[in-house]
Structure 1
């Protein structure tokens, strides 16, 4: 599953400091959230879509699959606001369904915002390494290590838990375990999977605690880092490109 998120090529976005990238993208999402201009919202969606499809470094097939929930979100929010929104300038009405000029504007606004959120979120997730992101947050933005290392440990445990789940599924299949139908069968499956997984999780947590104690880990103490993260020239290019693109989107929405 994790190989699926391996990029076809590493673009310049991969060389940007992940903590800085998070702050910039978060600021862009805030701008998207508070914006009430339909042309600017559409320009933002186009801008973030270009960044997602051109600079994420993934194949067109993977990007197309990831675009499916974005399209569903756009259609669901847009159509809901289009057919059930309020407005005075009614263009068409049939029963509970009513389309007005105001509802069209609100549909385009919310739909464009949902696309912008999806494009920015996917671009950030696809162009960072989670471990380096938390290391950068600790070093550049002084995130307390007790939170960062907790997230790192949890992320590193995901493949182990996935493997344990697959092993358990194969073991039940080899033993030809048959489950009942309906709610009773669901309960039996939960009982067969959750108890072994919880037991393994407790053992794994105990091993992590022993390892952290052996490394003299103390909450709040100054630490050195195996992966040092710094700002570089690509971060300046990233800031200039993103700010310039946002200004271009705003000017485009004003004049067109």
Structure 2
């Protein structure tokens, strides 16, 4: 984990997680209705800069996350670009038809995917799980049983990954991975699935009993080990996010890079 996280002391780590969650969720709705290609170009540019400034991940991890996100966005745009409709044909060969209209719509779709991914990564790479779930319980009044249940499930992910590695090592020691073909592969998947399923059922049962013993099902007011509150930094966060969004719209209006101000009209 030390190689993944560069710093958890940056500004965005100190923001109230519920506020961060609500504001970032609202940005998804805002950009869902944007049809101006220039706005999405500038928005993706500014959120990319913001992501590199506030992300707590190490440099190489940030790069690969952005790179993979860009690849997914290109795949998302390619279907619309190569098989769209329009009157101004750029390229036509067999089933592939690229027009100016399909190119603009495809780029809009790809940039929207890229922007959504960047916004999501800003939240994911600056929010620690424990404060997030505590904030959900304290600020958003999420029932304790659901919040702690989700937190327990989140904690089990690395345990299951480690268990998978142990099973694979045990099978390799016994020579069970040497056989090639469809049938040996199917048998190995069965062994993985059955073993991990049985262990997960036992682990879930023990967790449920432990949570019941700790009275996580009670509906009365509880005390918390971590108290998540509000601070002046939350206001800074709101200003930074609103400024980033505003810059995207302002630059799209005064410095347009394409003539497609509304891709649905073309």
With normalisation by structure 2, the TM-score equals 0.88
Q: In the alignment, which residue of structure 2 is the partner of 1:230?
A: 229
1 CA distance for matches of 2:187 and 2:54? 46
Q: Aligned residues, how many?
A: 255
Report if aligned partners of 1:5, 1:126 keep a CA contact under 8 Å in 2.
Answer: no
Q: In the alignment, which residue of structure 1 is the partner of 2:76?
A: 77
Over 3 Å counting, the alpha-carbon distance change for 1:131 and 1:93 in structure 2 is same
Report if aligned partners of 2:37, 2:107 keep a CA contact under 8 Å in 1.
Answer: yes
Over 3 Å counting, the alpha-carbon distance change for 1:41 and 1:171 in structure 2 is same
Q: Which runs of 4+ in 1 moved over 6 A?
A: none
Over 3 Å counting, the alpha-carbon distance change for 1:217 and 1:180 in structure 2 is same
Which deviates further from its counterpart, 4-13 or 130-139?
Answer: 4-13
Greater relative CO (CA pairs within 8 A, separation 6+): 2
Map 1:151-162 → 2, pairs under 5 A: 151-162=150-161
Q: How far apart are residue 64 of structure 1 and its match?
A: 1.5
Q: Secondary structure at the match of 2:176?
A: coil
Map 1:125-144 → 2, pairs under 5 A: 125-144=124-143
Q: In the alignment, which residue of structure 2 is the partner of 1:96?
A: 95
With normalisation by structure 1, the TM-score equals 0.91
Report if aligned partners of 2:82, 2:97 keep a CA contact under 8 Å in 1.
Answer: yes
Structure 1 alignment gaps of length 5 or more: none
Q: In the alignment, which residue of structure 2 is the partner of 1:220?
A: 219
Structure 2 alignment gaps of length 5 or more: 256-266
Q: Secondary structure at the match of 1:216?
A: coil
Bigger fraction of residues in helix = 1
Q: In the alignment, which residue of structure 1 is the partner of 2:182?
A: 183
Q: In the alignment, which residue of structure 1 is the partner of 2:258?
A: none
Which deviates further from its counterpart, 225-234 or 89-98?
Answer: 89-98
Report if aligned partners of 1:41, 1:112 keep a CA contact under 8 Å in 2.
Answer: yes
Note the alpha carbon deviations across 1:45-66, whole angstroms, 9 max, x for none: 1121111122213333111111
Q: How far apart are residue 4 of structure 1 and its match?
A: 5.0
Over 3 Å counting, the alpha-carbon distance change for 1:3 and 1:184 in structure 2 is farther
Over 3 Å counting, the alpha-carbon distance change for 1:184 and 1:16 in structure 2 is same
Which deviates further from its counterpart, 170-179 or 79-88?
Answer: 170-179
Report if aligned partners of 1:179, 1:189 keep a CA contact under 8 Å in 2.
Answer: no
Q: In the alignment, which residue of structure 2 is the partner of 1:211?
A: 210
Q: Secondary structure at the match of 2:44?
A: helix
Q: Secondary structure at the match of 2:134?
A: helix
2 CA distance for matches of 1:141 and 1:196? 38
Q: How far apart are residue 179 of structure 1 and its match?
A: 5.9
Q: How far apart are residue 41 of structure 1 and its match?
A: 1.2
Q: CA RMSD in A?
A: 2.0
Which deviates further from its counterpart, 176-185 or 198-207?
Answer: 176-185
